[in-house]
Amino acid sequence: MQECIIITGAATGIGKATVKKFHSEGYTIIGCDINVEQGRQLEVEFGEKVMFFELDVTKEGMWENLKNYIIEKNYHIKALFNNAGIFIMNSLEETTEQEYNQMFDINVKGCFFGLKYIAPILYQQQGGSIINASSNAALFGAKGLGIYGATKGAVRTLTKNAAMEYAPYVRVNSIHPGYIHTQMIEYAAKVSNKEPIDQAKFVPLKRLGNTEEIAELVYYLSSDKASYITGSELVIDGGVAAGQSIWEEES
């Protein structure tokens, strides 16, 4: 039975870096994304052990198709990384209903469907790991992140409930990245009229994180080395969530 990893939002950013990490470790990967053109490039770049599967995480029927594909191929699922997400930066009063629905559909419903359709497979296997992508925005307030932060807070709580529901066989954890150099940071910098590097001054470690660092954490949580970790939130943000110094450093 072939062991494989499922990654949503696999075509770019953190998703693609995670594909690269697991591929380097010899795993078979089902890389899922709504972007077919970029998704197909995963197969070209990484070869036959990476298979692209078209998936809109908000569509229940497409998750059911993925589940049936896994059963048909008789794959043993090592882990699911619910990574697909969307980030819209806006004030509460300027956020449209469409933007609200879009963020909750992709960020929360996408994780819910992943749990609904993949967790039972892992439970039946009596082993496996699910990692849900949340954010450090789930842990504190910030201007312009009200609805995005609310979706990621929902993912955090959903993770804890799923960890209880699928124990003892399935481990479910959330990861909470901060300022990671991805397209989302480029977008946030543009909205706030800053350069991406300017975000680093808010980070105690004084730099942006990179996608490879997130991939390493996902890999760890998927491994047997994390066998006693479930229902946890792992923050990877260079210290931002730890707090802000009450003394400003001199420039």
The pLDDT score that the predictor gives to residue 186 is: 66
pLDDT by residue, tens only, the chain of 251 residues: 789 999 999 999 999 999 999 999 999 999 999 999 999 999 999 999 999 999 999 999 999 999 999 999 999 999 999 999 999 999 999 999 999 999 999 999 999 999 999 999 999 999 999 999 999 999 998 888 999 999 999 999 999 999 999 999 999 999 999 999 877 666 655 666 666 677 788 899 999 999 999 999 999 999 999 999 999 999 999 999 998 765 555 44
Residue 163 Cα distances to 88, 95, 233, angstroms: 28, 32, 11
Q: By the 8 A CB rule, do 174 and 133 touch?
A: yes
pLDDT at 108: 98
pTM greater than the 0.85 cutoff = yes
3-state helix, strand, coil in the chain (%, to 5): 50, 15, 35
Distance CA 223, CA 218 (A): 9
Nearest to 19 by CA among 83, 112, 115: 83
* Count of other CB atoms within 10 angstroms of residue 7: 31
State the residue for tokens 């693609």: 16
Candidates 27, 117, 148, 179; catalytic one = 148
- The domains found in the chain, sorted by start residue, are 3-179+211-238 (3.40.50.720)
Residue 77 contacts residue 115 (beta carbons within 8 Å): no
Q: How far, CA to CA in Å, does 212 sit from each of 31, 50, 208?
A: 17, 18, 12
* H runs (alpha helix) in the chain: 13-24, 36-46, 60-73, 97-104, 110-125, 146-166, 183-191, 211-222
pLDDT at 250: 46
148 is catalytic: yes
Tokens 């191929």 belong to 73
pLDDT score at 182:
78
